[in-house]
Structure 1
């Protein structure tokens, strides 16, 4: 890919990664388990992107975190707050609306082609 295309793809993915992460935090997850869940759905995310995103979501009060020290290796678990659940549902609805609109626009290009 060209440098410009890489930049545009990164920009396109930025907002979708937030929605993807929020969608997986309805149940508590720690960083690595979250990466695995996302990759299972073919959503690639680097840990260098994930942890700053989680910190930002926590600062925005969409996510709360707690340390689990019961195992030999302490883990920080993240889960949606009550506020985060409401925001996630609204973002999801907006994503579905926007996706339909974009699909219609993109499909329109194909529809203009002669048969």
Structure 2
């Protein structure tokens, strides 16, 4: 059962991580700063998950990246593109609607004796 639960939990988290990352890229962030911001909100993401996700979002033209070489250690910064900002707002709206509906369903289950 725990293997099934882990698989379902991973599946559930996949979409939420994309939305969480997009939400933090309204201002430019580099990988480590993004991990810290997300962890500060209770969302744990491995760098081995984050960087492929950022590359995919860039390929989908939702984010753009640029290198900052002004410090001793070059950093690649990511930020929402105009298209990405538009998509983020629509995804956020869809998430809020789905979360509200799902909450209502789950709360109804608790009233029926399910916890």
Sort the TM-score into its range (normalised by shorter chain): over 0.9
- Structure 2 unmatched ranges of 5 or more: none
Aligned residue pairs total 113
Give deviations 1:78-98, integer Å, cap 9, x for gaps. 000000000000000000000
CA RMSD of aligned residues (A): 0.9
Normalization by structure 1: what TM-score? 0.96
Give deviations 1:46-99, integer Å, cap 9, x for gaps. 000000000000000000000000000000000000000000000000000000
| Counterpart position of 1:65 | 65
Q: Distance in 1 between matches of 2:109 and 2:74?
A: 52
- Structure 1 unmatched ranges of 5 or more: none
Q: Distance in 2 between matches of 1:51 and 1:101?
A: 32
Q: Distance in 1 between matches of 2:21 and 2:106?
A: 26
Displacement over 6 Å in runs of 4+: none
Shift of 1:110: 1.8
Normalization by structure 2: what TM-score? 0.96
Shift of 1:111: 2.2
